[in-house]
Amino acid sequence: MSPRSQAPLSVAIVGTGLVGAELISQLLSLPSPSPFKLVSLSTSTKTVFAPEGLKITPQTWLSTLKSSSEQPDLLALPDKLSVLERAVFVDNTASQDVANLYPEFLKKGVHVVTPNKKAFSGSQKLYDDILKASKEGSARWLNESTVGAGLPVVQTLKDMVASGDKIKKIEGVFSGTMSYIFNEFSTANPGGPAFSSVVRIAREKGYTEPHPGDDLNGADVARKLAILARSIPSLQSALPEGYTSVSTRSLVPDALASVSSGTDFVDRLPEFDTEFEKLQRQAREEGAVLRFVGVVDVEKGVVKADLEKYPTSHPFATSLGGSDNIIMFHTERYSPRPLIIQGAGAGAAVTAMGVMSDLLKLA
């Protein structure tokens, strides 16, 4: 590699939860000279900002942030960052309000890197605003960790498209939670646990959202599919309402749709065990297992999140463990055998690595 000629990239981080905290410690642990300079950290109540670089270490950043009396003002941040030589805004929240600000950063020449799915999977208007603002300000936005966490899914797709391969179909298990639930519930052998008890245990282990309905409704998978579809030129405008335009099967029973407490939800889920058991029995009779998958079928123009049956010899049946994700790319070049990417699709360490790999592309 040639010696560095550019100034370090100024990094402003919003969100210091599971992923944010891990990212900060990965950034602060890089060997020196680091290509990055951390200039700002914010949560919803606290902020610190130092254009010359914050004086923090992996041990001190949290107390520095906690003891700050400065009020966060995200609306002012695009201007503050735009005067720095090279700057990137990293959004580690799941907030729609923060996502709505990306065009402001991009217009002012500030790059955006994020694991937050909200901006890229929402309305066509916001997505178009992001495309336009990025052109205006010649800043880039990167979204690797929005699909498959740290797994190299978005970049792989982008490289295929850019190099002239034709995507036929992308098919995969995109939700770590759904992966765990069906890996446990739907096996080739009879006598496994009831659906409700798998969900209860998943919740106790912290694999689900506090309300498991937020996983079982399929929206997270639909959002990831919207991001993949929009990264394929012929589908860039195929989902006018973003993820809500994706045909999505919800596994939340209608009768529980308005149960707002997560605990009440898991307490009542056993009422529906016979329905799930029936689906599982049908699959077993066909020599198959159930998996909740996402499909982007480019040839047919179909984007859907659904519960499907796969033969017990299929990789979705044989090779998944824990909360793994698996993604199969069927393309003109990868045919008849697809390219397969598999591994942990959630967790702070791997998600933060996905964010870091985007930052390194900008450094």
Ligand X SMILES: *[C@@H]1O[C@H](CO)[C@@H](O)[C@H](O)[C@H]1NC(C)=O
Ligand Y SMILES: NC(=O)c1ccc[n+]([C@@H]2O[C@H](COP(=O)([O-])OP(=O)(O)OC[C@H]3O[C@@H](n4cnc5c(N)ncnc54)[C@H](OP(=O)(O)O)[C@@H]3O)[C@@H](O)[C@H]2O)c1
Q: Of ligand Y, ligand X, none, which one does residue 230 interact with (CB within 5 to 8 Å by kind)?
A: ligand X
**Other Cβ atoms closer than 10 A to 335:** 13
Note whether 186 binds ligand Y by CB under 6 A.
Answer: no
The dihedrals phi and psi of 194, each to the nearest 5 degrees, come to: -70, 155
Note whether 351 binds ligand Y by CB under 6 A.
Answer: yes
Q: Of ligand Y, ligand X, none, which one does residue 142 interact with (CB within 5 to 8 Å by kind)?
A: ligand X
Amino acid at 162: A
- From the CB of 17, what's the least distance to ligand Y, in Å? 2
Query: Residue 22 or residue 238: which is nearer to ligand Y going by CB?
Result: 22
Could you tell me which stretch among 3-11, 93-101, 229-237, 262-270 binds ligand Y (CB under 6 A)?
93-101
Q: Give the CA distances from residue 13 to residues 104, 227, 268, 276, in Å, rounded to whole numbers and listed in that order.
A: 16, 22, 40, 43
Exposed, middle or buried, 152 (CB in 10 Å: 0-12/13-18/19+)?
middle
Contact indicator for 11, 42 with CB cutoff of 8 Å: no
Map residues 40-79 to x or -, x wherever contact with ligand Y holds by CB under 6 A.
Answer: --xxxx----------------------------------
Q: Of ligand X, ligand Y, none, which one does residue 158 interact with (CB within 5 to 8 Å by kind)?
A: ligand X
β-pairing, 288-297 vs 167-173, is: antiparallel
Q: Of ligand X, ligand Y, none, which one does residue 188 interact with (CB within 5 to 8 Å by kind)?
A: none
Query: Residue 24 or residue 317: which is nearer to ligand Y going by CB?
Result: 24
**Selection from 59, 15, 116 nearest residue 354 by Cα:** 116
**289: its two tokens:** 């297992």
Contact indicator for 21, 100 with CB cutoff of 8 Å: no
Amino acid at 298: V
Instruction: Out of 106, 149, 226, 303, name the contact with ligand Y by CB under 6 A.
Output: 149
Q: Of ligand X, ligand Y, none, which one does residue 116 interact with (CB within 5 to 8 Å by kind)?
A: ligand Y
Map residues 5-24 to x or -, x wherever contact with ligand Y holds by CB under 6 A.
Answer: ---------xxxxxxx----
**83: its two tokens:** 């005067």
**Selection from 341, 346, 327, 19 nearest residue 176 by Cα:** 346
Binding site for ligand Y (CB under 6 A): 14-20, 42-45, 92-95, 97-98, 115-116, 145, 149, 346-348, 351
Binding site for ligand X (CB under 6 A): 120, 142-143, 154, 158, 227, 230-231
